[in-house]
Structures are given as C-alpha cells and as structure tokens.
Structure 1
C-alpha cells in the first residue's frame, strides 16, 4: 500500500514539475490590446460590411498588427473605441496601444510613439457652389475670417497650423463633415484628404464628393502617423521595438505600399459595386 501511494505521489509531483514552466510561460505570454477609431478612419481602419451592416474591424492598421505580432506568436486584440476614449484607455494602461495617431507635444509626453508608418496631407474643404473658382489661402487664419470651421472631437490639428481648438466647431464623425457644410453649420472643415476620400467611399456618399473642393493646407508637410504605446503597459518595452523593426522590413520590401493599395482597392471596389 505504501509503495502504491509513493508511486502515485511521484507521478503527481512529476506532473507538477513538468507543467509548472508551461503554466508560467502561458501566464507571462503577452496578451496585447490595441484600439482603433470607432467612427472609422479608412483605409487605415474601418468595419467590414456584410449586406450593408458593420461587422469586424478591418483595414491597413488591423492587417499591419497581424503582420507584426502573429509571426512572433504574440496574442493580441483589436477593439474599436471613440477616439478620446481610445486615447484615455491607452494613457491609463487599460489598452496597450492606439493606432493611427498624429503627434503633438502633449502626446509625446503622455505616450511612447512608434516610428511613423504612413503620412497624410492636412487639407481644408468647402462647397464648390460657394467658391466656384476655388479658394486658395496663405494661412489658416483666413479660413476663420471667412466663416466657421469644423473638425472632429479629439483629433489633433496642430499639423494643420490650427492650434486654437476653441475656435473649431467639433463633431464626432468624419462622414458628417460634408453634411455640416450642406446645412450651413460650417463653411469649411479640416480633414486629411486621403481618409476623407475613403470615408465618402465606404459610406456610399459619392454625391457629396462631387459637391466638395479641397486644398492642401499652405506650407504644410505630409503628416506622419504613429502607434501610441501606453507608458503603463507591462509590455511597452516590447511593443515598439518589434513594431518598428517589422515596419522597416515591410517598407523596404514594398509590402507596406502593397498593403495600403489593397485596402484602397477594397474601398474603390465597394464604391463601384454600389454604382453598378
């Protein structure tokens, strides 16, 4: 009987010794969380549509995260949140990183920015009807003198040359910016021209696209966009080096450009199917 119990005890002890490192490894394995803009920022992040209904997050950002973390065997999750909440939860350490963020001095202090992984052009838009010959300005202050200017809550417009958010009429959704012009709530709005085109395409707002004219902000440079990593993330020192190394590799072999073109084609395809 004693020998039997000794044998059982030895088997159990061996099992614990063998399984403990694996259990510890599972516990230490990162399970990262990244947030994207819930009102969409196409082609960088947007929702797949099934019969016109939004389903799971998709886009350049989502695929880029997959290319970075899946080969490394790191588990991660992408969640869509209102932009201000996305930034707050990253700041608080609830979420590890926010995708597609431009920089300003405050964000540089509050987060760990990745290397830039794409660039956009800051632009201003107006109705062609109001300015049939176009409207070119020498500084952003001229827009304010001509009428009310709209933007998006929580967005950074410092790279537009617009630092006084108190003088910006802020709304929640990029797709509503052209409608604000139609309703005469604003005479101008600020947007990155590439994401506005994607927003109009994915929301089947082709008629509004024909009513708008836009110009790149004078004296502006293409605006770099980054991932913002939480300073409170347990894996902050892991995320950026891995992300930056992979982005550099993908840029060198042309895969970043191909990934962007793929999502632009997806948006164009959706627009064409709607027109057909």
Structure 2
C-alpha cells in the first residue's frame, strides 16, 4: 500500500474517533428550573441527577445525533468563558438555555430556538403599590435597574433602555432580596424560570415581589450554544439543528416542555 494511502486512512480514522468523542456540556450552576435543575428527594436537591425540560430534550437530541454527552452545573459566567475558549481549555464544548445576541453569535454557533420564554419585569409592591410608572421600555431609564452577572441584557439597548444596570449580583435569590430591600427598582428575568425556582423549593420569592410581563410583552427564544473553536463545531451544529427540527415537527418537543410548564412552549 502506498504511503499516501496509509496517511489518508489514518486521517480518516482519527477524524472519526474525534467526531465520536462525547460532547461535554456545562449548564447554569445556580439551576434554571423548570429547565435545568437537580432532582429533589424529600424537597432537597440530590446533587447527583440533573433533570428538567431541556435536560429531557437533550436526551432526545443526542439519541438522534448518535453521540454520548456529559453535563455539569457550574457558575454561569465560567460556563460561558469555558465554551468560548474551548479551543484553548478543551473542557466544555457546549452550553444550553441561553438567549441570542450578536455578541454571543461571534463566539458560538447558536442553534435554532428550542423553547420560548416570556420576559418579566420584577419589582416590589412596597415601592410601587398602585399603578406601575412604566408604559414603554424607555420609561425605565428613570429608575435604578439591576441584573445578574453574566446574563444577556443587550436586548434592552435595542428597546431604548440606556440606563446602566447594576450587575454585581451573582444569583437570583440575592437579587430578589435586593429588590425587596429597596436597593433596586426593577429587575429583568423571564417569568417561567423565576417562578420555576420557587416551585422546586430553590428559594422563596419575597411576598412583596411580583413579576409582570415586560412592556410590550416581549418573548424570548432560548438556544443551545456550540464552541466555534471546536474542530467539529459545524458538524455538531448541523446535526443538532436537524435533530431539534425533527423533534419539533414530530411534536415531541412540545410534549416535553408542556410536562414542566403549562405555557411552556417547545415551539
């Protein structure tokens, strides 16, 4: 056999092995119920089994793609950094349950939407006991706004909200307490996962804190993200997208998400 033929066979074999390696996925460390969270036993997290709507959806996706995968819950900002720098760090190749932004699109291949959320505006009834002084998004520029470290708030600028957000808080329970204590006027987070966290006993929303649909009732699509620096990035992106579309066409995606949230739409 010619030396060139041996090289071609070796490259083909090596490529096949590389493509067949498990996909290591990092996910939102503080949990993101009802989409990503620890299984509960007697109301307490097991810290051994990750469950939720997107978790179940991932099982179906990778069954179709034909690859094994692992998943870990780690701090959100670290997760984004790890995937963005996969080419150098070689640890996590993908993350889940994130919203689209142009900034993210430069770093990751972003899947077709997997489900839809309804953006929420959170505030204290102690601060605003009657009518909310917010009719259009730009009205928010008159108030103190806060957000979570690592979250995507680019969409606010697109709606004319130019006031700088205080993003020094790292978890949802702390930011809800911050609102209740009057150290912030408004916080932005989707309604389903915020109420979902309370539903699984992860925290208690203070009695004075309520969430209402964001002015204009903004809807937010959520996606899967693949490291562009992965040697098989485009192949994963293509196969995962095909699997998502098939599961949506068959109605399986909607069945999964409706198990976890009534309005939960697997599109």
Classify the TM-score, shorter chain. 0.7 to 0.9
- Alpha-carbon distance, 1:91 to partner: 0.8
**Could you tell which deviates more after superposition, 244-253 or 100-109?**
244-253
- Could you say if the C-alpha distance between residues 207 and 63 of structure 1 is closer, same or farther in structure 2, counting changes exceeding 3 Å? closer
Q: State TM-score, norm by structure 2.
A: 0.80
Number of equivalences? 243
Q: Which has the higher helix share?
A: 1
1:53 to 45, 59, 62: 45
- Alpha-carbon distance, 1:242 to partner: 1.9
1:36 to 14, 19, 27: 27
Tell me what 2:117 maps to. Answer: 120
CA distance in 2, matches of 1:75, 1:172: 31
- Alpha-carbon distance, 1:39 to partner: 0.6
Partner deviation per Cα, 1:136-163 (whole Å, 9 max, x = no partner): 51333433423x2221101001224476
- Alpha-carbon distance, 1:173 to partner: 0.9
Tell me what 2:193 maps to. Answer: 195
CA distance in 1, matches of 2:14, 2:227: 27
Alpha carbons 2:140, 2:161 under 8 Å: kept: no
- Could you say if the C-alpha distance between residues 159 and 250 of structure 1 is closer, same or farther in structure 2, counting changes exceeding 3 Å? same
- Alpha-carbon distance, 1:253 to partner: 2.4
Aligned residue runs from structure 1 range 2-81, under 5 A: 29-51=20-42, 52-55=44-47, 56-81=49-74
Tell me what 1:177 maps to. Answer: 175
Alpha carbons 2:145, 2:164 under 8 Å: kept: no
Q: State TM-score, norm by structure 1.
A: 0.78
Tell me what 1:223 maps to. Answer: 220
- Alpha-carbon distance, 1:217 to partner: 2.2
- State which structure, 1 or 2, has the greater radius of gyration over its C-alpha atoms: 1
- Alpha-carbon distance, 1:71 to partner: 4.1
Alpha carbons 1:62, 1:78 under 8 Å: kept: no
Root-mean-square deviation (CA, aligned residues, Å) is 2.6
1:214 to 211, 214, 222: 211
- Could you say if the C-alpha distance between residues 25 and 232 of structure 1 is closer, same or farther in structure 2, counting changes exceeding 3 Å? closer
Structure 1 residue runs without a partner (length 5+): 1-20, 266-276
Alpha carbons 1:121, 1:216 under 8 Å: kept: yes
- Alpha-carbon distance, 1:89 to partner: 0.8
Q: Describe the SS at the equivalent of 1:57.
A: strand
Tell me what 2:148 maps to. Answer: 152
CA distance in 2, matches of 1:27, 1:174: 38
Q: Describe the SS at the equivalent of 1:41.
A: coil
Aligned residue runs from structure 1 range 86-97, under 5 A: 86-93=79-86, 94-97=91-94
- Could you say if the C-alpha distance between residues 192 and 170 of structure 1 is closer, same or farther in structure 2, counting changes exceeding 3 Å? farther
- Alpha-carbon distance, 1:174 to partner: 1.6
